[in-house]
A and B are shown apart, each in its own frame.
Chain A
Amino acid sequence: MKPNDVILKSVTQVAAVIILTFSIYLFMNGHHHPGGGFIGGLSMASAIVLLYLSFGIEKVRENIRVDFKKLAAIGVLIAIGTGMAGVVFGQPFLTQAFGYRDLPIFGTTELASALIFDTGVALAVIGTAVNIILSISEDR
């Protein structure tokens, strides 16, 4: 007999959206406030783990078609790539640059290349955390 947990599934449908929004908020304001790539990646991984908890492995795997091992590798490649960009322009390794641009909606915004490095860190953290939990839960 298949158990029917309606309350858990409908709470998850609302809460996963809120947790994903909160993780993107933590990721974006890591430059001036508490937050950053690591904790943003961890809270997004916790949202994915909540989806796995309430819907099971197969249903999430056929809806989020992401290989988390490749996601961790892509994150490390992005982080190394922003370090190598400093070397290309004749600066030391991992030199960060920033500038002020006029964006259409946000107005004058400070754009820093540390954001791309943080994207790499966040992708590596998401891939590693979800991959650890998935490989523990499959008992092979």
Chain B
Amino acid sequence: MIFETVLITALCILMLAILANLYRVVKGPSSADRVIALDSVGINLIASIAVFSVLLHTHAFFDLILLIGILSFIGTIAFARFIERGVVIERKR
């Protein structure tokens, strides 16, 4: 019982962290701020999925953790290339 309370408290704190990141996504002055805030939202999602799978006594979500990590990495790289050079996938003229 006390264990579940600790886990739900951790989920609430992670939700507050995601809300703070979403504030930075909405308010951020430059687009690099928004990209970094979205990357941080992805990391907080990974943490909350881990806590949630402990809460549900299942290990069916462990693949999802790795998959969100991969997709967040690729998305951040694509946004960074778009901000820096204007094209996402390069090719010769």
A residues lining the B interface (CB < 8 Å):
3, 8, 15, 19, 22, 26, 33-35, 39, 43, 46, 49-50, 52-54, 56-58, 133-134, 137-138
- The answer to whether A53 and B89 have CB atoms under 8 Å apart is yes
Can you give 21 contacting A-B residue pairs, CB < 8 Å? A22-B67, A26-B63, A33-B60, A34-B63, A34-B64, A43-B67, A49-B74, A53-B74, A53-B77, A53-B78, A53-B81, A53-B88, A54-B77, A56-B92, A57-B89, A57-B91, A58-B92, A134-B89, A137-B87, A137-B88, A138-B91
Interface centre among B63, B81, B88 (most CB of A within 10 A): B63
User: Nearest-CB distance from B37 to chain A (Å)?
Assistant: 21
Interface size on B, residues (CB 8 A): 19
Consensus secondary structure, chain A interface: helix
**Among A33, A43, A50, A138, which residue has its beta carbon within 8 angstroms of that of B77?**
A50
Summed over the interface, the residue pairs from A and B with CB atoms below 8 Å come to a total of: 48
For A34, list chain B residues within 8 Å (CB). 60, 63-64
User: Nearest-CB distance from B88 to chain A (Å)?
Assistant: 7
User: Nearest-CB distance from A128 to chain B (Å)?
Assistant: 17
Answer yes or no: B57 CB below 8 A from chain A CBs: no
User: Nearest-CB distance from A26 to chain B (Å)?
Assistant: 6
CA distance A49 to B73 in the complex (A): 12
User: Nearest-CB distance from B83 to chain A (Å)?
Assistant: 13
